[in-house]
Structure 1
């Protein structure tokens, strides 16, 4: 979304004439139908956008379906506030790390949001009617004198302006010592997992005062630590399976039926190391920053610094598909290491049919790859594309140059 005045249908009341650090979006998540898009920012705010439904006349003119590609602001609320850990004398940022929607069970929507330490469950509901005709209250909501009530009346619901209510339902705190990097809702609709650098916990959505530790890779002596957990996700169909990735580029598939504490994985996925091309940066660029199950549940999509990879759960010897995302940066790794850019993290996602994958890049670019043809395209999210009916333009990336020591 941009700030162009030529887009009258977009509500810009929440936008400012200037952008501060707190306004930078840190995570985005569509709900299961794609009608709602939730964004979290570094200021701890969550902004929910709703897909606009075209009128019948507009649909007939364009020949398109009733849903357009435009999203209007649906609701905005403050999810997290800055906090302070007095035991460790550490400030806890309000930045939203992850947002996950729960499967919709009724007219209301539920979503989870988390910062570094605390996960919160929110209920988003609409109200377009209000009750009138209370027996014990007057029209302004004040209690009546019981002695003045001479008859009973039945309250009635009358139409009113649409109002979106967002209410906190649960707060899941004190479950993590380190920063939370992932949350994932289970297919059973009752539990979810949260992962930090060294542990993965499983929570019940109705219980806030305790969780079950299902993975713990913390060594007795922290000097023996060789890797950290970078991402974790439940299987889309099987509630007993989940996968987590590590900074060493390893994926571990765990089955909770085998053991309550999944200290032993069911399967491990790791690409064989090419000793001929090994360098000082090999371990850094092989760190997996994101992992996603395909909708079918058979494949895994991972993202490291330079590539996106597809893994088959039935083949643990290596990835079945590898897509070059940042290959032009391979000659500049030493410069990227000096300015810490080599530690940047990128996410990845499947399309609804698992035929196309998408991942982020630098300079407002993102890359899409067709799995059938292997072809990739680089698209740019730019200001002009926020206009109605605008088409994203492709960009060619310059791949020349060499790394300066």
Structure 2
């Protein structure tokens, strides 16, 4: 197995007792990958910084600082250098993290003739509210995204009075005038702000779905969609599959990789547990060769971007890493499927073979083994 657990924050007992406000609702690296920020439903922002260690064989992180950003119902966030963009139901905030050094004057002894010197006593992180956007939305904010040049903010709200609603949004990795929208109907829309408002869509992506039934629209709903860093492809995630699309071919996806094969026959059970409304994030690594997304039963998936493999790994509070290849292999039926322990939020490191995965109130890091 190419991947192994490298670090975790949390423990099994606290995760078993996690209440709703402790559940991690967003996670993101900064552009350089030196810091990671997560947010929970209570509105707390917790920052981790890269830990310098000569002995460590892979990148390690340590607790950095935290702050109370919003009241309860915190949702997505994006990290940009030492700025944190966060939102709750309707208010979007931009926080600035500044290093504050406290010094004191040290005088020489009475017997010595010397100049007083400043000595560092303490070094802390001082969070300050840089900007607040209190009136952009009237409904619940569904997603936010920062543009490549960090001058523009894209946000989408949950509109319950219309049949088709936006489920996610993100800017193009290179062009600040282009962004991607996904909807609860399973469609993807590439939008250019330079085109007139009456018809701004560049391309609509869609695929031929199976027979219609009670669950058709629910399982077709797109949880998340992302551009590949190479900007040639996009990826989308729904209840049962991860799909990749060529920007030049909108009719059908290039690859379709099944997800959650164990629950394909348990849609009634998922409906009763309100799991068909879960929103799993999707992330693409820096080389555009790997996709990362979550699952149920304390597991997550690392998928080859060309659709050649789908490795499912199990979260663990030990150094033992367990997992299995699921692509093209009939899934073993699980009688007691655990819907509580779901890995909703996960993110790829922007420069290295490292992923961060969250489950309830715990954070896990997995790294790819180095070739010998």
For the superposition of Structure 1 and Structure 2, which TM-score range results when normalised by the shorter chain? 0.7 to 0.9
Q: Are 1:394 and 2:335 counterparts? A: no
- 1:129–1:157 CA contact under 8 A, matched in 2: no
Distance between the aligned counterparts of 2:116 and 2:259, measured in 1? Answer: 62
Distance between the aligned counterparts of 2:272 and 2:236, measured in 1? Answer: 25
- Counterpart of 1:268? 204
- 2:205–2:251 CA contact under 8 A, matched in 1: yes
1:383 counterpart SS class: coil
- Counterpart of 1:71? 61
Q: Are 1:51 and 2:55 counterparts? A: no
- Counterpart of 2:234? 300
Note the C-alpha offset of 1:19.
Answer: 3.8
2:267 counterpart SS class: helix
How many residues were matched structurally? 315
Task: Return the structure number with greater relative CO, CA threshold 8 A, min gap 6.
Answer: 2
- Counterpart of 2:290? 356
- Counterpart of 1:159? 120
- Counterpart of 2:179? 242
Q: Select 1:371's aligned residue among 292, 296, 305.
A: 305
User: Are residues 282 and 162 of structure 1, via their aligned partners in 2, closer, same or farther at CA, if it must alter by over 3 Å?
Assistant: same
**4+ residue runs of structure 1 moved beyond 4 angstroms?**
15-18, 154-157, 395-398
Over aligned residues, Cα RMSD in angstroms?
Answer: 2.7
- Counterpart of 1:116? 89
- Offset from partner CA, 1:229-272 (integer Å, 9 cap, x none): 1011110101110110111101111111112x365411100012
More strand by share: 2
Give unpaired runs (5+ residues) of structure 2: 1-7, 107-114, 336-372
User: Are residues 266 and 78 of structure 1, via their aligned partners in 2, closer, same or farther at CA, if it must alter by over 3 Å?
Assistant: same
Q: Select 1:258's aligned residue among 173, 184, 195.
A: 195
Note the C-alpha offset of 1:184.
Answer: 0.7
1:22 counterpart SS class: helix
Distance between the aligned counterparts of 1:240 and 1:18, measured in 2? Answer: 45
Note the C-alpha offset of 1:401.
Answer: 7.1
- 1:182–1:195 CA contact under 8 A, matched in 2: yes
Distance between the aligned counterparts of 2:118 and 2:252, measured in 1? Answer: 61
Residues 5-404 of structure 1 mapped to structure 2, 5 A cutoff: 19-55=18-54, 58=55, 64=57, 68-81=58-71, 94-102=72-80, 104=81, 109-130=82-103, 158-198=119-159, 222=161, 225-259=162-196, 261=197, 263-274=199-210, 277-372=211-306, 374-384=308-318, 390=319, 392-395=321-324, 399-400=332-333
Distance between the aligned counterparts of 2:198 and 2:315, measured in 1? Answer: 41
Note the C-alpha offset of 1:183.
Answer: 0.7
2:64 counterpart SS class: strand
Note the C-alpha offset of 1:363.
Answer: 1.9
Distance between the aligned counterparts of 1:348 and 1:381, measured in 2? Answer: 17
Distance between the aligned counterparts of 2:212 and 2:333, measured in 1? Answer: 22
User: Are residues 17 and 319 of structure 1, via their aligned partners in 2, closer, same or farther at CA, if it must alter by over 3 Å?
Assistant: closer
Note the C-alpha offset of 1:279.
Answer: 2.5
Note the C-alpha offset of 1:112.
Answer: 0.3
2:264 counterpart SS class: helix
Note the C-alpha offset of 1:129.
Answer: 5.0
Distance between the aligned counterparts of 1:373 and 1:270, measured in 2? Answer: 18
Distance between the aligned counterparts of 1:51 and 1:4, measured in 2? Answer: 21
- Offset from partner CA, 1:91-132 (integer Å, 9 cap, x none): xxx222111012x3xxxx111011111111111122335376
Larger radius of gyration: 1
- Offset from partner CA, 1:45-85 (integer Å, 9 cap, x none): 01101121103xx26xxxx4xxx44321100110112xxxx
- Offset from partner CA, 1:250-297 (integer Å, 9 cap, x none): 1111111112x36541110001233xx433211110100101111111
